[in-house]
Structure formats: structure tokens, C-alpha cells
Amino acid sequence: MLKKRKEENMNDISFQEWLEIQKIYKNKIYLKNNSSIVLLKIEPINFKLKSKLEQGAILNQYRLFLKNLKSKIQIIILSKKTDISCHLNEVVKSTNENPQIFDMCNDYINLLKSIVQEKGSITKDFFIALEATNNVENDIMLIKEYLQDCGKDVSICTDSELITVMRNYLNKRTSLMV
């Protein structure tokens, strides 16, 4: 009975009312409780391609990062199907410029499409969310320092990136489509 009443109450509120986001402005997500969040985009590295020594160094640096971080963070990982359309367009463009390689490029395009379709190639986007407190600039600098030592590039998400991330995070179905 209690569960049914709770469901009825949830149906009475709109999605905008349920969502705690007030606005996205100047690279921050402002919440209805008057706090704000900064989202950092972390460029991935291909860990498996690193040597054992490099992998160990990366793991130790990441361990130090987590141990020394004083702020509360949330790590967000968004998975999506790999979009190879830009790469395929470049291959088609090169084929138009040099018709002698048409068959080879066509075979290459078909191979890539089949690999992505069969293997379900997925890319992952990594983010760190942290509350925008008075020390947020120091926190960002510390995070950048530690993660750059791991070989990762770190950048603050722009407003348009924040909107895209929130859209993909909230709508899992479209984030998995190409």
C-alpha cells in the first residue's frame, strides 16, 4: 500500500520538478539547493597498451590521487557505441580524390563497419564531478596535477559539454546509439 502511494506521488510531479538542476551556466551545474557542481572531463588512456612498469606507475599515481584528495567527488563513466562516421567520411573523401584506391577503401569501410557491428565497439567517457566550493580552483588544480601524472588530460566541461553529458546521462537509450 505504501509503495503504491509513493508511485502515485511520483507521477504527480514533472521531470523538471524532479530533476534537481536549476541551470547550467559558466561551466557549472547549478542545483535547486543553491549549490553548484563542476564537471571535469578525463581523457582516457589505453591502459592495456602500456607496459607492466607503466601500468604499475599509473596505478600508484591513481592511488595517491584518491588518498590525497580532500574533496568529495563522484566518478561518472558514460558508455556509448563507437561513432566511426567521421573516419569513414574521410576515407570516402580520399577515395574521391584518388579513384585508383576505390576498391581497397571500399573493402576497408566494409571491414570497419562489420567489426563495429559484430564486436559492439564501445567508447567510454570519464568525468569527475565535484562540488563548487570556495576551494574548487585548488581542488581542480590538484586533480589535474595527479591525473596528468597518470598520463590523462583533464579539462573543465563547457556549458555545451555539460548539456550533452546530462542528456546522455539521463537518457541511456540515446547514449548507446550511434
pLDDT tens digits, 85-139: 888 888 888 777 777 788 888 888 888 888 877 776 677 889 999 988 888 888 8
Q: Tell me the CA distances in angstroms from 42 to 17, 33, 78, 177, one per residue in order.
A: 30, 27, 12, 22
**Residue owning grid cell 561518472:** 76
Amino acid identity of residue 14, one-letter, is S
Distance CA 34, CA 26 (A): 15
pLDDT per position as a tens digit, 44-92: 888 888 899 999 988 998 898 888 888 888 988 888 777 788 888 888 8
**Is the overall model pTM greater than 0.75, yes or no?**
no
pLDDT at 19: 67
- Residues 50 and 56: their CA atoms lie apart, in Å, by 9
Q: Which three cell numbers stand for residue 131?
A: 562540488
Domains of the chain: 19-81+122-162 (3.30.70), 83-120 (no CATH)
